[in-house]
Chains A and B, each alone.
Chain A
Amino acid sequence: MSNDLEIRELQASIGDKPILKGVNLTVRGGSIHAIMGPNGSGKSTLANIVAGHPSYVVTGGEILYQGQNILELDADERSKLGLFLAFQYPVSVPGVSVANFLRTALNAHRAQEGQDPKKTSIPVAEFRKQLREGMKSLEMDEGFARRYLNEGFSGGEKKRLEILQMTLLKPTMAIMDETDSGLDIDALRIVAEGVNRLAGPNMGALVITHYQRLLTYIKPQFVSVMMEGRIVRDGGPELALELEEKGYDWLREELAEAA
């Protein structure tokens, strides 16, 4: 079963305001595909809609993953298929510890219909081991697990926790929404290494970024550009470099001329 993510003519609004105006994008399973675009182009909206955010209204098109239209599915069902969204602004949930949250998420993924959850739940020792190893790989202090989810976390800590979740849940397609925003060079390195460890035949990655900087660490095979709610150009890694050099206006002019 292919892990391709196919987005076809996707249209979506928030309230009355149309944001996605016919997005066409194919992310091949196991590949690293970057989406770049100016602010307001709809990149984050696209990421949130693929993950199943309830506030957006899909007014047309479809999203296929592993051959099925996932628009019918709730966010938790999509997650269990293997989709993962690394949030740009992870929300905090007071009173819920990181450890408790991770274990609950893992058990939700391990649960099988008709089976006793006690049988499918991850054993405590196994969980502790995975958690410890994951935190170590992301240079996170062990005390982190006891803290409340994202509460009082710095930007770097929040983003590393997103990658820790990815490490434990092992998705087959990860959507990274401006993962580099607000990160200093050291945090960026740690986060990128975490993604690169996972990305490969077992995990495709849709990397959404405004700047080219992240893409020197996480090297994409494909680059698409989004503007005003549509994908306007597809290319390879050299497209990212060209945008870096010439800016988005260059592309706007080219598209205007072609029209």
Chain B
Amino acid sequence: MNSLTLKDLTADSVVATSHQLGEPAWLGERRRDAWELFAKSGPPEWRRSDLSGLVPDDLATFTSPGITLEWDQALAAQGVVFKPLQEALASHEALIQRYMDTGVAPLEHKFSAMRAALWRDGVLLYVPKGVAVESPLRVRYSLPDGVSATFPRTLVIVEANASVTLVEEFSSNDQPVSALAAPISELFAGPGSQLRFVSVQHWGAGVYHLGAQKLVLENDASAEWTSIALGGKLQHLDAETTLKGNGSSVNWLGATFANGTQQLLTAPWLRHVGHNAESFMQFKTVVNDTGYSVFDGMIKIEHESAATSTRLEEHALHLSPNARNDSIPGLKINTNSVLKGGHASTSGDVDDEQLFYMQARGISRADAKRMIVMGFFSPALDSIPLAGLREELESIIEQKI
């Protein structure tokens, strides 16, 4: 749609485009504010993400991502909405205006402002009160050929006592030149609701994935979140769960595999605000060749919280001596009322005893190594509700070993 490069844009042109697309005025103004911050900010201090290969000014032709929605359309009869976000601006304007940008702060730094200014399309998932959706819904974002930047946005609102599973997937062909994908995902789980969110990044080579995700849990809401990072040239993903409501809970599993010269950073944060909230995070990382992975996990227990139960674990497996994983788990506690809180981090090579045990049964060393890596990722892989996707990911993982 646009064949402009980023350096051709101005605040006015951003608002004009919004207007041309028929977007409401309040959104045009938000884009303006975001653009102005973007234009005057220097890049954020991301010590562990090397963005030198990405020259934003040269990024051209950013437009909607390819969006594929898979779901049981009969659910619409129960009031479930699953539609492209751009379309939803017309049909569900008030809902979107109320929730959008209250999860991921738009004006935090240059890239959050960029996303907020330039986002184009995505998906709205809305589940009305009390509706229990059994079959998983899936949104697939892709990078169309010839497009070097895309900014999709996922907005999920689950009303009280409803339940749903959403699989969000990012995939593409290998890119001949560096491409940028800067998605925003905001998820709001209402009181007593249950949300399972599986987010899978398996872009082709050459993609810079600079993402932000935020999940907000109301009273007694429970969530299961699986984060999988396998693709792209570089990832910097800021993800956060805010346990805002009393009695809310989250079980967060992660699987990252950095091989070749990939740099994959995930910064998953747990923020405890409500009383009696429980959180558990377990991230597994495998690194191979000269791959580089960063786990920047954090548990933040706020002053207003009470009786928090939380735990954060990261485990890394090194398949080659030159691969690297930086594990930086943190714990910030601003209250005396914590029931259980802790973190653990382990790192090692493939266990020789496990290899020998399997070889002693006739299994070749290469096959044994492969089984051990798959087994290592099994908590996250087991949580994927779509068998076809799981197989696809297993085959991608095998290629990386």
Contacts and interface: CB of A to CB of B under 8 A. Distances in A.
Interface stretch (A13-21, A51-59, A123-131): A51-59
A147 to B, nearest CB: 12
Contact of A104 (B356, B357, B367, B376): B367
Nearest to A102: B361
B363 A74 contact: no
A109 B357 contact: no
A95 B363 contact: no
B375 A95 contact: yes
Given A90-B357, A91-B357, A169 B375 contact: no
A75 interface: yes
Given A94-B376, A96-B375, A108-B367, A75 B360 contact: yes
Contacts of B357: 87, 90-91, 93
A57 B360 CA distance: 17
A75 B375 contact: no
Contacts of B354: 91, 93
B322 to A, nearest CB: 22
B378 interface: yes
Given A91-B354, A96-B371, A75 B378 contact: no
Q: Is the interface of B mostly helix, strand, loop or mixed?
A: helix
B371 A94 contact: no
Nearest to A100: B371
A79 B374 contact: no
B392 interface: no
A19 B304 CA distance: 62
Given A79-B362, A104-B363, 4 more contacts: A101-B371, A105-B358, A148-B378, A169-B361
12 contacts: A51-B356, A51-B360, A52-B356, A76-B359, A76-B360, A76-B364, A78-B360, A91-B357, A93-B358, A104-B363, A104-B371, A169-B362
A164 B383 CA distance: 29
Contact of B365 (A53, A76, A78, A96): A76
Interface in A41-55: 51-55
A162 to B, nearest CB: 10
Interface of A: 51-55, 74-76, 78-80, 84-85, 87, 90-91, 93-96, 100-101, 104-105, 108-109, 148-149, 165, 169
Contacts of B292: none
B395 to A, nearest CB: 16
Nearest to A96: B375
Interface residues of B, number: 24
B45 interface: no
B367 A96 contact: no
A95 B361 contact: no
B360 A85 contact: yes
Residue among B361, B371, B378 facing the most chain A CB atoms (10 A cut-off): B361
A193 to B, nearest CB: 22
Nearest to A81: B362
A75 B362 CA distance: 7
Contacts of B371: 93, 96, 100-101, 104
Contacts of B368: 76
A76 B363 contact: yes
A22 B353 CA distance: 26
B375 to A, nearest CB: 3
Contact of B372 (A78, A80, A96): A96
Contacts of A80: 362
B360 A79 contact: yes
B280 interface: no
Interface in B343-401: 351-354, 356-365, 367-368, 371-372, 374-379
Contact of A74 (B352, B353, B359, B378): B359
Nearest to B355: A54
